[in-house]
Structure 1
Amino acid sequence: MHVPHGPEFRRGARLPHELRARPYVVGNWRAYHLAPPRRGYEWVQVGPDFVLTAIGSGVIATVVLR
Protein backbone atom coordinates (compact mmCIF):
# COMPACT_ATOMS: atom_id res chain seq x y z
CA MET A 1 0.00 0.00 0.00
CA HIS A 2 1.53 3.32 -1.05
CA VAL A 3 0.98 6.39 1.09
CA PRO A 4 2.35 9.69 -0.22
CA HIS A 5 4.76 11.58 2.00
CA GLY A 6 2.85 13.94 4.22
CA PRO A 7 3.07 15.50 7.64
CA GLU A 8 4.67 13.65 10.50
CA PHE A 9 2.06 12.34 12.90
CA ARG A 10 2.18 13.25 16.58
CA ARG A 11 0.07 12.68 19.66
CA GLY A 12 -2.87 15.07 19.89
CA ALA A 13 -2.92 15.88 16.16
CA ARG A 14 -5.71 14.67 13.89
CA LEU A 15 -5.18 11.93 11.36
CA PRO A 16 -6.53 13.06 7.96
CA HIS A 17 -9.97 11.61 7.25
CA GLU A 18 -8.83 9.85 4.06
CA LEU A 19 -6.32 7.80 6.10
CA ARG A 20 -9.06 6.60 8.46
CA ALA A 21 -10.78 4.65 5.67
CA ARG A 22 -11.16 0.86 5.90
CA PRO A 23 -8.11 -0.04 3.77
CA TYR A 24 -5.84 1.56 6.39
CA VAL A 25 -7.56 0.29 9.56
CA VAL A 26 -5.68 -2.58 11.22
CA GLY A 27 -8.04 -5.30 12.43
CA ASN A 28 -5.30 -7.82 13.23
CA TRP A 29 -3.25 -5.63 15.59
CA ARG A 30 -1.86 -8.72 17.37
CA ALA A 31 -0.04 -9.77 14.18
CA TYR A 32 1.87 -6.48 14.32
CA HIS A 33 2.60 -6.80 18.06
CA LEU A 34 0.50 -3.74 18.87
CA ALA A 35 -1.33 -3.18 22.15
CA PRO A 36 -5.09 -3.77 22.09
CA PRO A 37 -6.89 -0.56 21.14
CA ARG A 38 -8.88 1.06 23.92
CA ARG A 39 -12.64 1.26 23.52
CA GLY A 40 -13.42 3.92 20.92
CA TYR A 41 -9.98 3.72 19.28
CA GLU A 42 -8.51 1.84 16.33
CA TRP A 43 -5.08 1.22 14.86
CA VAL A 44 -4.39 2.69 11.42
CA GLN A 45 -1.37 1.76 9.28
CA VAL A 46 0.34 4.64 7.50
CA GLY A 47 3.15 3.22 5.39
CA PRO A 48 5.30 1.13 7.76
CA ASP A 49 4.05 3.01 10.85
CA PHE A 50 0.97 2.60 13.05
CA VAL A 51 -1.21 5.27 14.61
CA LEU A 52 -3.78 4.71 17.36
CA THR A 53 -6.65 7.12 16.73
CA ALA A 54 -10.01 7.98 18.25
CA ILE A 55 -12.64 6.54 15.92
CA GLY A 56 -14.96 9.54 16.06
CA SER A 57 -12.50 12.42 15.86
CA GLY A 58 -9.28 11.00 14.42
CA VAL A 59 -7.24 12.44 17.29
CA ILE A 60 -3.96 10.54 17.58
CA ALA A 61 -3.28 8.86 20.93
CA THR A 62 -0.15 6.85 20.06
CA VAL A 63 2.34 6.65 17.18
CA VAL A 64 4.46 3.53 16.59
CA LEU A 65 7.28 4.11 14.11
CA ARG A 66 8.70 1.10 12.29
Structure 2
Amino acid sequence: MKKLIQDNVEALPVYIAMVLIVFSLFAGYHGLKLIRYTITNHPERNYKFFEFVISVILITIFSTLLFTYK
Protein backbone atom coordinates (compact mmCIF):
# COMPACT_ATOMS: atom_id res chain seq x y z
CA MET A 1 0.00 0.00 0.00
CA LYS A 2 2.84 2.39 0.82
CA LYS A 3 4.47 1.71 -2.56
CA LEU A 4 1.18 2.44 -4.35
CA ILE A 5 0.84 5.79 -2.57
CA GLN A 6 4.45 6.71 -3.43
CA ASP A 7 3.89 5.91 -7.11
CA ASN A 8 0.71 8.00 -7.19
CA VAL A 9 2.42 10.97 -5.53
CA GLU A 10 5.28 10.80 -8.04
CA ALA A 11 2.82 10.75 -10.94
CA LEU A 12 0.73 13.64 -9.60
CA PRO A 13 2.70 16.51 -11.26
CA VAL A 14 2.51 14.62 -14.54
CA TYR A 15 -1.27 14.38 -14.29
CA ILE A 16 -1.55 18.07 -13.37
CA ALA A 17 0.63 19.07 -16.34
CA MET A 18 -1.34 16.79 -18.64
CA VAL A 19 -4.66 18.33 -17.57
CA LEU A 20 -3.29 21.86 -18.02
CA ILE A 21 -1.96 21.04 -21.50
CA VAL A 22 -5.25 19.49 -22.58
CA PHE A 23 -7.28 22.43 -21.26
CA SER A 24 -4.99 24.91 -23.05
CA LEU A 25 -5.34 22.94 -26.29
CA PHE A 26 -9.13 22.97 -25.98
CA ALA A 27 -9.06 26.70 -25.22
CA GLY A 28 -6.97 27.28 -28.34
CA TYR A 29 -9.34 25.14 -30.38
CA HIS A 30 -12.37 27.11 -29.21
CA GLY A 31 -10.47 30.34 -29.85
CA LEU A 32 -9.91 29.21 -33.43
CA LYS A 33 -13.62 28.39 -33.73
CA LEU A 34 -14.54 31.85 -32.42
CA ILE A 35 -12.19 33.57 -34.88
CA ARG A 36 -13.58 31.46 -37.70
CA TYR A 37 -17.19 32.30 -36.84
CA THR A 38 -16.42 36.02 -36.76
CA ILE A 39 -14.52 36.01 -40.08
CA THR A 40 -16.62 33.74 -42.28
CA ASN A 41 -20.18 34.26 -43.41
CA HIS A 42 -20.96 30.55 -43.82
CA PRO A 43 -19.04 28.81 -41.04
CA GLU A 44 -21.04 25.60 -41.22
CA ARG A 45 -19.52 24.50 -44.54
CA ASN A 46 -15.99 25.89 -44.48
CA TYR A 47 -13.85 24.20 -41.86
CA LYS A 48 -15.58 20.95 -40.92
CA PHE A 49 -12.57 18.87 -42.00
CA PHE A 50 -10.22 21.23 -40.13
CA GLU A 51 -12.29 20.83 -36.96
CA PHE A 52 -12.23 17.06 -37.38
CA VAL A 53 -8.43 17.01 -37.78
CA ILE A 54 -7.91 19.18 -34.68
CA SER A 55 -10.26 16.96 -32.67
CA VAL A 56 -8.41 13.81 -33.75
CA ILE A 57 -5.05 15.40 -32.85
CA LEU A 58 -6.31 16.45 -29.41
CA ILE A 59 -7.75 13.00 -28.68
CA THR A 60 -4.51 11.34 -29.84
CA ILE A 61 -2.34 13.58 -27.64
CA PHE A 62 -4.58 13.08 -24.63
CA SER A 63 -4.78 9.30 -24.95
CA THR A 64 -1.03 9.01 -25.58
CA LEU A 65 -0.22 11.02 -22.46
CA LEU A 66 -2.79 9.09 -20.45
CA PHE A 67 -1.43 5.67 -21.38
CA THR A 68 2.23 6.75 -21.20
CA TYR A 69 1.98 7.96 -17.61
CA LYS A 70 -0.62 5.48 -16.39
TM-score range, shorter chain: under 0.3
For normalisation by structure 1, the TM-score amounts to 0.26
Larger Rg belongs to:
2
TM-score, reference length from structure 2 = 0.25
Higher RCO (Cα < 8 Å, 6 or more apart): 2
Report which of the two has the higher share of strand.
1
